[in-house]
Structure 1
Amino acid sequence: MKALRALVYNIGFFGGSGLLMTLALPLLVFPRRWTNGLAHLWTWLMFTWLRLVVGLDYEVRGRENLPAGPAILAMKHQSAWDTLAIFVLFDDPAVVLKRELWLIPVFGWFLRKHGTIAIDRDGKAAALKKLLADAEVAKAAGRPIAIFPEGTRGPVGTKLPYQAGVAALYTQLKVPMVPIALNSGLYWGRRAFMKRSGTVLVQILPAIPPGLDRRKMMARLEQDIETTTNALLVEGGWEKPVENSVDQLASNR
C-alpha cells in the first residue's frame, strides 16, 4: 500500500506540475511577482496532494524568530521535501540551488524568472563571486536568501561539512543568519521513492546577528542546526542516533 501511495503521489506530482507550468507559460512575460505567486500555488497544491495521498503533513515552529527584512535562511537538507518547502514556508525567497536545475525545460525557465540563485558547484572562486553578487541583488529587493549550508542532501543522522558559501554570504551581506532544523528525512528519504505518513517538524531558531567572527558564527550555526535536528528526529521516532561520519557517508554513495 505504501508503494501504491508513493506511485500515485509521483504521478500527480509530475503530471500536475507539468500541466500547471504549461498553462502558466504566459506568466513568464509578466513581472516576477506573478511567478512568485505561481511558486506558492504550486507548492501548496503539491503539499496538499502529499497530505491527501500519503498522509504527510508539516508543522512549523518558531516563526517569531524570522527577522523583518532580508536575512539568510540556513536550512538543514535531508530530503527533496525541503526544496519544495522553501517556496511555501517563506515569502518570496531567493533560493540558492545548483545550476543544473536551470537547464530543465519549462521548470528551469520559471526558476530563472523567480529570481533563484544558481551556482556552479565546480566553479570555485568565480561561482562564489557570482553567488555573492546575486545575493546582493536579492538583499536590495528586500528578499530573504535561502540556502542549504551543507550543499546537498544527507541521510538521516549524518552531518555533512558546512560549505564556505554560507559563511561568505554572512560576511558579505551583513544580515541576520537564521538556522532552520527539520526531520523531513524520516518521512521522505534522500533519493527515496517511498514516503511515510506523519508530520515533518520544522524549527526556525533564533537568528544569529550580523557582525560575529566568521568562525564563531559557523560553529554556532552548526551547533544550533544539528542539535535541534537530532532532537526533532528523536521526537519523530528516530531511535538509534549514529555517529556522524563523513567517511561513512562517502562509503554509502
Structure 2
Amino acid sequence: MRDAVQWLRSLVFLVNIYGMMGVMGIVFFPWAIFSRTGALAACHTWCWWVRWTARWMVGIRTEVRGTPPSDEVLIAAKHQSFLDIILIFGSVPAGKFIMKRELMWAPVIGQYALKIGCVPVDRGKRSIAIKRMVRDVAKGRQAPGQLIIYPQGTRIAPGVQAPFKIGSGVLYEELGQDCVPAATNVGLFWPRKGIMRKPGLAVVEFLPRIEAGLDKGTFMARLADEVEEASNRLMKEAGFNAENRDG
C-alpha cells in the first residue's frame, strides 16, 4: 500500500514538473528569445521549482556540496538520472551542455537549450562535435560559461560499471580549461527509468578541480578515480548496497 501511494505521488510530481516546464517556457519566452540571460533565468527558476516540489511531493531532499564553479571550466559529472542535470545546472551561473541533436526539436527544451549555448551532437559523430566545440570556443562564438559533460556518455545506474570515454579528455586537453569533477548518488532516489521516486537525500558534490595542463591519459585516470570514489562514498552514505541496487 505504501509503495502504491508513493507511486501515485511520483506520478503527480512528474506531471507537475513537466507541466511547469511548459508554463515557465511560455512565461519567460518573450525575454528568453531576445536574451540569453532570460533563457538562463527560466531554466534556473524551473530547477528551483523541481527541487522545492520534490521535497514535499515525493520526499526527495536535495543537497549540493562543494563549491560550484563560476568561471569558464569543464564540469565532468557522474550521470545517474535527470536529477543530477537539474542540481548541477541550477548551481552554476551559465551552464551549457553537449546535447543529442534530437533534443533540438523537443518543445521548450530544444529552444532554450540552443539559447543558453548548448551544442547539438549527432549520434555516432561525437568526435566531430568536439572539434566543433573547440573551434567555436577558440573563435569566441560560443557563449561563455560552464561546459557540463558526462564522461561515461549516458545515464549509469548505481553500482553499474561503465568506462569513461575519451571525449572529455580531448576537450580538457584541447580547450586548456580546468576541470571540476562532480559526483552524485541521485540515481538511488530518482532512477534513470520509470515513474517511482524514492524519499531520501539526493546529493551532487563538486570535487576539487583538476587544473589544466595534464596529459590526456593522466587526466582521464584521475577523473575516473575521483568521480567513482566520491560517488561510491555518497551512495554508501545513503545506505546503498548490492541488494538494493537500482538497475
Common fold, TM-score beyond 0.5? yes
The answer on whether the counterparts of 1:139 and 1:145 sit within 8 Å (CA) in structure 2 is no
CA shift, 1:74, in A, is 0.5
Alignment-mate amino acid for residue 27 of structure 1: W
Name 2:91's counterpart in structure 1: 89
SS of equivalent to 1:112: helix
User: Which residue of structure 1 aligns with residue 232 of structure 2?
Assistant: 230
Residue of structure 1 equivalent to 2:208:
206
3-state DSSP of counterpart to 2:202: strand
Corresponding residue for residue 162 of structure 1: 164
Q: Distance in 1 between matches of 2:74 and 2:136?
A: 13
Tell me whether 1:42 sits opposite 2:46 in the alignment.
yes
Aligned residue pairs total 241
Aligned residue runs from structure 1 range 136-175, under 5 A: 136=138, 141-175=143-177
Structure 2: runs of 5 or more not aligned? none
Contact kept in structure 1, 2:101 and 2:120, CA below 8 Å:
yes
**Pairwise CA distance, 1:126:** 2.3
CA-based RMSD: 2.1
- Of 57, 60, 67 in structure 1, the residue corresponding to residue 64 of structure 2 is 60
1:121–1:202 distance in 2 versus 1, CA, 3 Å: same
The question of whether the paired residues in 2 share the 8 Å contact of 1:97 and 1:147 is answered with no
TM-score, normalized by length of structure 1?
A: 0.88
**Cα displacement (A) at 1:124:** 4.4
Inter-partner Cα distance in structure 2 for 1:23 and 1:76: 32
In 1, the alpha carbon distance for the partners of 2:148 and 2:219 equals 17
Quote the Cα distance in structure 2 between the aligned partners of 1:197 and 1:107: 27
Compute the displacement of 1:131 (Å).
Answer: 3.0
Which 4+ residue blocks in structure 1 deviate beyond 6 angstroms?
137-140
Map 1:1-20; keep pairs closer than 5 Å: 1-20=5-24
- More displaced stretch, 31-40 vs 158-167: 158-167
Q: CA deviation at 1:192?
A: 2.4
TM-score by length of 2: 0.90
Closer/same/farther in 2, CA of residues 166 and 58 from structure 1, 3 Å limit: same
Instruction: Check the 8 A contact 1:138/1:144 in 2, yes or no.
Output: no
1:104-119 matches, within 5 Å, as: 104-119=106-121
Deviation at 1:142, TM superposition (A): 4.0
Deviation at 1:86, TM superposition (A): 2.6
Structure 1 residue 27 displacement after superposition: 2.4
Give the secondary-structure state (helix, strand or coil) at the position aligned to 1:201: strand
Any stretches of 5+ residues in structure 1 without a counterpart?
A: 243-251
What's the CA shift string for 1:85-140, capped at 9, x where partnerless? 23212111122222211111232111111111221122244233223234546797
Aligned to 1:211, what secondary structure does the other structure show? coil
Shift of 1:148: 0.9
1:167-211 deviations in Å (ceiling 9; x for gaps): 111011111111110100100111121101111122211111111
Question: Post-superposition shift, 1:83?
Answer: 2.0
2: CA distance, partners of 1:87 / 1:124: 22
Displacement of 1:29: 3.1
| Separation (CA, whole Å) in 2 of partners of 1:126 and 1:61 | 34
Percentage of identical aligned residues: 33
